């Protein structure tokens, strides 16, 4: 029997439809013969927790660290237990299993984790799905891969899972216990990727806090020539400049101002050249997230979810979790089909498609730049854009425009660079004049302008080298240096993608590629959201800043843990495992050795950490608290589903109390009977006014109940005042 194993039900439904398998059973599709399509719900297995290996590890104790499993084990998630059994029964009957999960590291791991657990010994094939439209699925089924070709992807997935477990379980316990010794009952989640991310934000915030503005001076001259005028900027000599080329000598700048104002000079250079600019490449996920964040303010997670919906629900675009901006050469033949599908989906795009040349040799087609997945582009299947949300339409529109742009002529312009010399001082300017719009007709905004293009929009008069020039006006501006701005979602994503430029350790700088990143295209959005949820960073409008908790955790952990260099180096190792260049066992053995050594060092320094500046920062996190009304232990204000409440932090007590305006409510005070309370008719104890339970949607009356309830169940009705009817006069 052939079993096709998908990642989720919707994927299985699409695949089954193409295979002509329409008989749906409980947990799978079947043709009644030898072909079955089934599905997981993402990862159906999860790693053992420490106490699954050893019940004694349930308590978080520093003495039990480091925790390193001798044999890695997993268990079935409760939420997926039923589907797990369905898959197990089908795999046990299978002779061939076709892995049809998402074609990436995690998708491979989802399927092969199950096959290893079931000890499947039959043939394994890989369906390389990149789109879920009918044509793409048919093509993937015709081009299945052999077992050995994608097994390294699984090993990389295992390496990622185990690395995350080792770092998370050991360091989260270690630093949470250390914080507890400082009196902070707070869980500190330490992660292989999340902690360096927080470190980036903390470092940026600190650089802003510690920044000392320095004055500098800019001189702008208004230049008059025979056929017009223009503005040019003074280029100060190196001896009066800082490292950024800014003049920091005010007296010198003022002298130049006085020297050149109203004086004659010369056009030392006026050079005009023709330039061409190719269309921006199609989108990778991170570049789509950057674009959407800048243009619409979408979060990284919103873009990922929306792109996933375009791929999975609408079949409008290809697989979104890609890190490539390029397309395989084999897809040159799909261009006309994609154009036709776009027009059938939305006739309003036909004019722009008509201007494209499908035979143009676009630079986007480059096999050397494509690995498992190509850039995000429209599919060859008609989609219903009327069913799309505003976000979906926005992303779909820019994805299709980027694709069409590959088949347009370049944007062409003339740029003139000018050098003016007056009284031995140099002034520079440049201007740009479009000569052919090319691909730019596809875009209404200026989001795709090249760096510096906005600064080169000055219209220059006709100029010749050697012609005279007059400095008519000159203005000296006093300016102050500014710190780097706080991260936004877009700039934080860009930093995560190219983290090598934030690494200062020589040993990591040497081995890191320029494109080394924190996390992957598929995980970066979730990492940012995780840091927000755990209270390490916060959004303030469109800016991201570190919280006090984030600053405290970065001050507490060693730099090697919060360094983006270490994590990016690990990510490169995972890529090597995925390509077969590195062995899973070697990577994990090296990681275990490094982790064991570091945990022991930190344990030995725990008392020192508590008394250090890091310990003081920790203590500043201590919340306002009150003694428990039952045991006297500390209480913590907690936000629950129905609002705030107070919980005792003594695990032996574990009592909870109501919240009133930020303070716990003492039940003894609440339970104090009013002065006019009657005595219980059964036992003579003072009674309390209570509210009856609603019945049939109607509010129940109040009544008197014995304060000894439930030992005594005496009750008494509450006397009500009779209303006196007002006499009416006619």
pLDDT at position 515 over 60? no
pLDDT at position 668 over 70? no
CATH number at residue 51: 3.40.50.140
pLDDT at position 454 over 60? no
Q: Indicate the pLDDT class of residue 615, thresholds 50, 70 and 90.
A: low
pLDDT value of residue 697: 64
Q: How, if at all, do strands 411-422 and 264-277 pair?
A: antiparallel
Give me the percent of the chain exceeding a pLDDT of 70.
93
Q: Is residue 376 domain-shared with residue 499, that is, in the same domain?
A: no
Q: Are the CB atoms for 667 and 630 separated by under 8 Å?
A: no
Residue position matching structure tokens 């044509």: 135
pLDDT value of residue 299: 93
Tokens of 293: 């964040």
Count of residues in the chain: 730
pLDDT value of residue 451: 45
Nearest to 271 by CA among 370, 374, 419, 66: 419
* Digit-coded pLDDT (tens) for 516-569: 678 888 889 999 999 999 999 999 988 999 999 999 999 989 998 998 888 888
Q: Which residue, of 584, 616, 648, is where some domain finishes?
A: 616
Tokens of 210: 């510690």
Of 172-186, 574-588, 709-723, the least confident: 709-723
Distance CA 46, CA 596 (A): 24
CATH number at residue 436: 2.70.20.10
52 within a domain of the structure (yes/no): yes
DSSP state of 100: E
Q: Are the CB atoms for 402 and 283 separated by under 8 Å?
A: yes
Q: Is residue 9 domain-shared with residue 118, that is, in the same domain?
A: yes
Q: Is residue 222 domain-shared with residue 202, that is, in the same domain?
A: no
Q: Indicate the pLDDT class of residue 447, thresholds 50, 70 and 90.
A: low
The pLDDT of 254-266, averaged and rounded, is 97
Q: Which residue, of 405, 425, 452, is where some domain finishes?
A: 405
Q: Is residue 221 domain-shared with residue 177, that is, in the same domain?
A: no
Global pTM value: 0.80
Question: Looking at per-residue confidence, does 623 or 460 come out higher?
Answer: 460
Q: What are the strands, taking DSSP E only, across 514-650?
A: 537-540, 543-546, 635-640, 643-648
Q: Is residue 455 domain-shared with residue 569, that is, in the same domain?
A: no
Secondary element (H or E) of residue 8: none
Q: Indicate the pLDDT class of residue 112, thresholds 50, 70 and 90.
A: very high
Q: Is residue 295 domain-shared with residue 425, that is, in the same domain?
A: no
Average pLDDT of every residue of the chain: 90
pLDDT value of residue 722: 56
The pLDDT of 573-588, averaged and rounded, is 93
* Digit-coded pLDDT (tens) for 677-687: 889 999 888 88
Q: Indicate the pLDDT class of residue 301, thresholds 50, 70 and 90.
A: very high
The pLDDT of 46-55, averaged and rounded, is 96
pLDDT at position 445 over 80? no
pLDDT value of residue 588: 96
Q: Are the CB atoms for 39 and 83 separated by under 8 Å?
A: yes
Q: Are the CB atoms for 402 and 284 separated by under 8 Å?
A: no
pLDDT at position 610 over 80? no
Q: What are phi and psi of 464, to 5 degrees?
A: -130, 140
Question: Looking at per-residue confidence, does 125 or 658 come out higher?
Answer: 125
**Residue 487: strand pairing partners:** 544
677 within a domain of the structure (yes/no): no
DSSP state of 395: H
Q: How, if at all, do strands 537-540 and 543-546 pair?
A: antiparallel
pLDDT value of residue 649: 78
Secondary element (H or E) of residue 110: helix 105-117
**Dihedral sign, CA of 686, 691, 693, 698?**
positive
How far, in whole angstroms, is CA 302 from its chain's centroid? 9
pLDDT at position 56 over 60? yes
Q: Indicate the pLDDT class of residue 401, thresholds 50, 70 and 90.
A: very high
DSSP state of 627: B
Distance CA 594, CA 599 (A): 9
Q: Long-range contacts of range 9-14, CB-CB < 8 Å, 24 or more positions apart?
A: 9/39, 9/41, 10/312, 10/313, 11/39, 11/100, 11/101, 11/102, 11/129, 11/132, 11/312, 12/37, 12/38, 12/39, 12/100, 14/132, 14/137, 14/315
Q: Is residue 388 domain-shared with residue 447, that is, in the same domain?
A: no
- Determine the Cα angle at 617 with ends 611 and 619, to 5°: 75
The pLDDT of 667-676, averaged and rounded, is 69
**Torsion, Cα of 281, 282, 284, 290 (10° steps):** 80
533 within a domain of the structure (yes/no): yes
Residue position matching structure tokens 């660290």: 65
Q: Is residue 92 domain-shared with residue 172, that is, in the same domain?
A: no
Q: Indicate the pLDDT class of residue 702, thresholds 50, 70 and 90.
A: confident
pLDDT value of residue 727: 43
CATH number at residue 302: 1.10.290.10
518 within a domain of the structure (yes/no): yes
Distance CA 513, CA 470 (A): 50
403 carries an active-site annotation? no
Residue 710, preceding peptide bond in cis (omega within 30° of 0): yes
The pLDDT of 144-148, averaged and rounded, is 95
Q: Indicate the pLDDT class of residue 157, thresholds 50, 70 and 90.
A: very high
Exposure string of 124-162, with b = 16+ CB inside 10 Å and e = fewer, is bbbbbbbbbbebbbebbbeeeeeeeebebbbbbbbbbbb
Residue 666 belongs to domain spanning = 635-670
Distance CA 727, CA 730 (A): 10
Strand order in the sheet with 487-488: 487-488, 543-546, 537-540
Residue position matching structure tokens 């599905």: 39
Tokens of 518: 């924190």
Q: Indicate the pLDDT class of residue 658, thresholds 50, 70 and 90.
A: confident
Q: Indicate the pLDDT class of residue 614, thresholds 50, 70 and 90.
A: low
Distance CA 266, CA 598 (A): 66
3-state secondary structure of 609: helix
Residue position matching structure tokens 């090597």: 576
3-state secondary structure of 594: helix
Q: Which of 216, 319, 396, 411 is catalytic?
A: 319
174 within a domain of the structure (yes/no): yes
One-character DSSP codes across 168-233 = HHHHHHHHHHHHHHTT--------TTHHHHHHHHHHHHHHHHT----EEEEEEEEEEETTEEEEEE
Q: Is residue 174 domain-shared with residue 139, that is, in the same domain?
A: no
Secondary element (H or E) of residue 6: strand 2-6
709 within a domain of the structure (yes/no): no
Residue 44, preceding peptide bond in cis (omega within 30° of 0): no
Q: Is residue 437 domain-shared with residue 394, that is, in the same domain?
A: no
pLDDT value of residue 721: 62
Nearest to 46 by CA among 121, 114, 108: 114
Q: Highest mean pLDDT: which of 172-181, 238-247, 500-509?
A: 238-247
Q: Indicate the pLDDT class of residue 730, thresholds 50, 70 and 90.
A: very low
Residue position matching structure tokens 């030898």: 34
Q: Indicate the pLDDT class of residue 208, thresholds 50, 70 and 90.
A: very high
699 within a domain of the structure (yes/no): no
691 within a domain of the structure (yes/no): no
Alpha helix positions (H), 236-384: 250-260, 285-296, 300-312, 335-345, 350-354
Distance CA 581, CA 301 (A): 32
Q: Indicate the pLDDT class of residue 631, thresholds 50, 70 and 90.
A: confident
Question: Looking at per-residue confidence, does 328 or 689 come out higher?
Answer: 328
Distances (CA, A) of 673 to 284, 691, 701, 710, 717: 68, 14, 18, 16, 16
pLDDT at position 501 over 50? yes
Tokens of 591: 């990681």
Q: Is residue 77 domain-shared with residue 168, that is, in the same domain?
A: no
Number of domains, the chain: 5
Distance CA 602, CA 557 (A): 9
Distance CA 294, CA 300 (A): 11
**Residue 664: strand pairing partners:** 659
Q: Which residue, of 432, 455, 480, is where some domain finishes?
A: 480
Q: Is residue 451 domain-shared with residue 427, that is, in the same domain?
A: yes
Distance CA 141, CA 144 (A): 6
pLDDT at position 305 over 90? yes
């Amino acid at each position: 029997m052939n079993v096709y194993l998908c990642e989720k039900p919707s994927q299985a439904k699409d695949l089954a439809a193409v295979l002509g398998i329409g008989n749906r059973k409980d947990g799978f599709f079947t043709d009644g013969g030898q072909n079955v399509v089934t599905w997981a719900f993402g990862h159906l297995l999860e790693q053992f927790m420490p106490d699954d290996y050893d019940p004694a590890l349930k308590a978080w104790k520093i003495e039990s660290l480091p925790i390193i499993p001798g044999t890695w084990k997993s268990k079935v998630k409760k939420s997926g237990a039923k589907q797990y059994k369905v898959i197990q029964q089908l795999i046990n009957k299978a002779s061939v299993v076709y892995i049809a999960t998402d074609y990436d590291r995690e998708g491979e791991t989802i399927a092969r984790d199950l096959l290893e657990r079931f000890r499947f010994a039959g043939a394994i094939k890989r369906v390389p799905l990149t789109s879920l439209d009918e044509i793409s699925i048919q093509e993937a089924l015709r081009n299945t891969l052999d077992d050995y070709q994608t097994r390294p992807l699984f090993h990389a997935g295992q390496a990622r899972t185990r690395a995350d477990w080792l770092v998370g379980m050991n360091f989260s316990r270690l630093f949470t216990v250390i914080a507890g010794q400082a009196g902070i009952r707070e869980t500190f989640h330490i992660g292989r990727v999340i902690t360096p991310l927080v470190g980036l934000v903390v470092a940026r915030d600190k650089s802003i806090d510690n920044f000392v503005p320095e004055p500098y001076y800019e001189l702008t001259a208004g230049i008059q020539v025979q056929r017009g005028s223009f503005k040019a900027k003074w280029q100060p000599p190196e001896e009066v400049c800082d490292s950024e080329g800014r003049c920091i000598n005010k007296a010198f700048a003022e002298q130049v101002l006085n020297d050149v104002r109203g004086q004659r000079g010369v056009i030392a250079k006026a050079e005009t050249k023709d330039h061409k600019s190719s269309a921006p490449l199609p989108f990778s996920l991170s570049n789509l997230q950057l674009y959407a964040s800048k243009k619409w303010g979408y979060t990284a997670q919103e873009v990922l979810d929306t792109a996933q919906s375009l791929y999975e629900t609408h079949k409008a675009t290809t697989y979104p979790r890609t890190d490539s901006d390029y397309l395989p050469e084999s897809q040159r033949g799909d261009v006309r089909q994609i154009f036709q599908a776009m027009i059938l989906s939305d006739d309003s795009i036909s004019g722009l498609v008509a201007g494209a040349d499908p035979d143009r040799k676009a630079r986007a087609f480059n096999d050397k730049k494509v690995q498992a997945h190509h850039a995000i582009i429209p599919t060859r299947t008609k989609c219903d854009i009327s069913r799309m949300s505003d976000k979906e339409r926005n992303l779909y529109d820019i994805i299709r425009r980027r694709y069409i742009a590959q088949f347009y002529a370049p944007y062409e312009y003339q740029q003139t660079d000018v050098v003016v010399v007056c009284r031995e001082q140099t002034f520079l300017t440049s201007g740009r004049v479009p000569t052919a719009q090319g691909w730019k007709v596809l875009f209404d905004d200026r989001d795709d302008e090249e760096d510096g293009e906005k600064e080169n929009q000055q219209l220059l008069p006709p100029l010749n080298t050697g012609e005279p020039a007059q400095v008519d006006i000159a203005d000296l501006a006093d300016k102050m240096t500014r710190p780097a701005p706080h991260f936004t979602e877009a700039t934080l994503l860009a930093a995560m993608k190219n983290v090598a430029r934030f690494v200062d350790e020589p040993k990591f700088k040497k081995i890191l590629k320029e494109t080394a990143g924190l996390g992957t295209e598929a995980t970066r959005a979730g990492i940012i959201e995780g840091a927000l949820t755990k209270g390490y960073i916060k959004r303030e409008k469109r800016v991201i800043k570190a919280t006090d908790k984030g600053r405290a955790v970065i001050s507490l952990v060693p730099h090697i843990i919060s360094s983006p260099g270490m994590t990016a180096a690990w990510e490169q190792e995972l890529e090597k495992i995925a390509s077969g260049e590195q062995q899973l066992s070697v990577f994990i053995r090296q990681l275990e050795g490094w982790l064991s050594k570091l945990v022991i060092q930190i344990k030995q320094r725990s008392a020192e950490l508590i008394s250090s500046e890091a310990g003081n920062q920790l203590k500043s996190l201590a919340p306002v608290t009150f003694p428990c009304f039952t045991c006297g232990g500390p209480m913590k204000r907690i936000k629950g589903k129905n609002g705030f409440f107070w919980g005792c932090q003594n695990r032996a007590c574990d009592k909870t109390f109501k919240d009133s305006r930020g303070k716990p409510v003492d039940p003894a005070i609440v339970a104090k009977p009013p002065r006019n309370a009657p005595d219980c008719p059964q036992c003579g104890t003072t009674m309390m006014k209570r509210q009856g339970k609603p019945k049939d949607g109607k509010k129940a009356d109040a009544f008197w109940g014995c304060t000894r309830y439930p030992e005594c169940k005496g009750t008494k009705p509450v006397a009500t005042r009779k209303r006196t009817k007002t006499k009416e006069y006619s």
